[in-house]
Structure formats: structure tokens, C-alpha cells
Amino acid sequence: MSRNTGEVISVIDHPDGKIIKIRWRLDGQLPHDTDYFTKK
């Protein structure tokens, strides 16, 4: 079973929706960030 945990670090309002930044912490690796875009 995966033990990856994601944490929302910011939510940015955008005219077309929102940009959500998530920081992932993987066992034995450096954290990395991903951006998700949600449309209205």
C-alpha cells in the first residue's frame, strides 16, 4: 500500500477556475510539487 501523502500548499484564484498546488512527500525521496487546474 502506498504511503504517499499530498498536502495542499496554496490555492490561487484564476478567472477560469483555480490553480491548486500540492506538495507530495514520498518515502525516501525529496518532496515535489504539482499544480492542478480546475475549471469553473
Q: What is the DSSP string of the chain?
A: ----EEEEEEEEEETTEEEEEEEEE-TTS--EEEEEEEE-
Distances (CA, A) of 25 to 18, 21, 38, 39: 23, 13, 22, 26
Domain ranges in the chain are 5-39
pLDDT digits (tens, 9 = 90+) for 1-40: 456 688 999 999 999 999 999 999 888 889 899 999 999 8
pLDDT score, position 5: 80
pLDDT score, position 2: 59
